[in-house]
Amino acid sequence: MNAAVETRSAPRALRQPSVLPGFGLTFGFTTFFLSAIVLLPLAALVLMSLRLSWSEFWEVILDPRAVGSYRLSFGASLLAAGINLVFGFIIAWTLVRYEFPGKRIIDALIDMPFALPTAVSGIALTTVFAQNGWIGQYLEPFGIKVAYTWIGVTVALTLIGMPFMVRTVQPALAEVQKDLEDAAETLGAGRFHIFRRIILPTVLPAMLTGFALAFARAVGEYGSVIFISGNLPMKTEITPLLIVIKLEEFDYRGAAALGTVMLFISFIMLLAINLLQAWGRRRHTRTGR
């Protein structure tokens, strides 16, 4: 009798209670979508580039024009993500900590770069930063040219990546209770100390995630950059543009080779950021310093 009851109840105990239908089904969907949308196309990309011989492959990817584009693409993306790290944090802080009129509007504006077709942002930025644009005309006398230089590329990538930073840091900041700061203050800590020892460690993982997302997005950005960069080979030409040019010349294998390089570098950088995050977590949990 008892045994019968147990055998009947055993499978029930193994099953995880959940609102959605079973694990098998959801896991199936997960693998299917990851394969169909992410893994297969990436594999096709690598396979396509392998149709080149090694010497051809190296020639394509080490072409000075290509190397110049890597430098701009990854350099500007890193710089833009870095700018977002600082200013995205400040924006998130302002939105989380203060009440002011128009807060909701500003909060909604953050998402605009998500929704806007990137070409539109590119054209808009070019208009503003061109030599006779609203901002460009005031920078001109100082010898600062934004549009059609690497600075313009960075500006465009900063705009594109900003929402990623703000939206990841915002919830993390909201979780830092005011009580924690109050506690630290009564214990004698100054503002800088509170920021460094209490707030920063708590939101650092979110900031790194935001940084990684903003960086990844910037590397892949195409639409907004081609309008503001001017696309001078070796100077203001980004790798995605170079790929498009290759495609237009029907050099599919060359395009794939460049794509593979981008894939590789992006993967390495994201991996590095993830490792950094994991290391940071361990460090904080171990010693708390």
Partner 1 sequence: MSITLDQVTKRYQGAPVVNDVSLEIGDGEFFVLLGPSGSGKSTLLRAIAGLTGVDHGRIALHGRDVTHTAARERGVGLVFQNYALFRHMTVADNIEFALRVRRVKRAERVQRRKELLRLVALEGMDERLPAQLSGGQQQRVAVARALAHKPEVLLLDEPFGALDAKIREELRRTIRQVQRELGITTVLVTHDQEEAFALADRIGVMNLGRLLEVGRPDELYKRPATRFVATFLGAANLLLARQSKDGIHFGNHAVNARAVEGSVSGREHEVVAVLRPEEIELAPTREALTSSYLAAGTVEELVFTGALERLRVRLTNGSAEVQLAKSNGDGEYLEVTRTQHEQRAFEVQRGQHVAIGVRRIHVLPTPLSSFTACAASDAEVEHLSRQPLLVELAARMKTRVATRVEPALANGSRDCSSRSGKFVGAAVVAAQPDSLKDIECLLARGAEEVFVLPPNAPPPQRVLIHWADEAAKSATLAVSASLLRHLSAEAIYVDVMPQGTAESQRPHGMRALLDARSEAQAVHGLEMRTELRVGNVSTELVRQLGESVDPLLILGISQINGLAHRFADLLASTPRWPMLIVYREPEVQA
Token representation of residue 183: 């506690």
Long-range contacts of 93-99 (CB under 8 A, 24+ apart): 93/173, 95/166, 95/170, 96/170, 96/173, 96/174, 97/173
Site string for partner 1, 121-160 (x = CB under 8 A): ----------------------------------------
From the list 288, 210, 218, the residue with the least C-alpha distance to 74 is 218
Q: Does 177 bind partner 1 (CB under 8 A)?
A: yes
Nearest CB to partner 1, comparing residues 48 and 198: 198
Whole-number minimum distance, CB 178 to partner 1, in Å?
Answer: 9
SS3 call for 3:
helix
If binding is defined by CB under 8 A, does position 284 make contact with partner 1?
yes
By CB under 8 A, which span of 7-15, 52-60, 173-181, 227-235 interacts with partner 1?
173-181
Q: Which of 208, 232, 246, 238 is nearest to 220 (CA)?
A: 238
* 179 touches partner 1 (CB under 8 A): yes
Residue number, 99 or 248, with CB nearest to partner 1: 99
Q: Does 289 bind partner 1 (CB under 8 A)?
A: yes
Q: Does 184 bind partner 1 (CB under 8 A)?
A: yes
Compute the least distance from the CB of residue 189 to partner 1, in Å.
Answer: 5
Q: Name the segment binding partner 1 (CB under 8 A); options: 1-9, 192-200, 222-230, 253-261.
A: 192-200
Distance of CA 71 to the CA centre of its chain: 18
Regarding 183 and contact with partner 1 (CB under 8 A), the answer is yes
Q: How far is the CB of 183 from partner 1 (least distance, A)?
A: 4
CB neighbour class for 115 (10 Å; exposed up to 12, middle 13-18, buried from 19): exposed
For position 276 contacting partner 1 by CB under 8 A, the verdict is: no
Query: What count of other Cβ atoms lies within 10 Å of the Cβ of residue 229?
Result: 24
* CA 225 vs CA 179, 230, 239: distances in Å: 44, 9, 11
Taking the least distance from each CB to partner 1, the nearer of 127 and 202 is 202
Q: Which is nearer to partner 1, 199 or 228 (CB)?
A: 199
Nearer to partner 1 by Cβ, of 55 and 287: the residue is: 287
Is 53 near partner 1 (CB under 8 A)? Answer: no
Helices (H), the chain: 2-14, 23-33, 40-49, 54-61, 64-97, 103-109, 112-115, 118-129, 136-139, 150-175, 178-186, 191-194, 200-220, 223-229, 239-248, 252-287
By CB under 8 A, how many residues form the interface with partner 1? 22
Angle, in degrees to the nearest 10, between helices 239-248 and 64-97? 130
Q: Check binding of 278 to partner 1 (CB under 8 A).
A: no
Stretch that binds partner 1, among 19-27, 36-44, 120-128, 190-198 (CB under 8 A): 190-198
Pair of tokens at residue 39: 């893994």
CA–CA gap between residue 5 and residue 13 (Å, rounded): 12
Q: Report the interface residues with partner 1, using CB under 8 A.
A: 177, 179-180, 182-190, 193, 197-198, 201-202, 284-285, 287-289
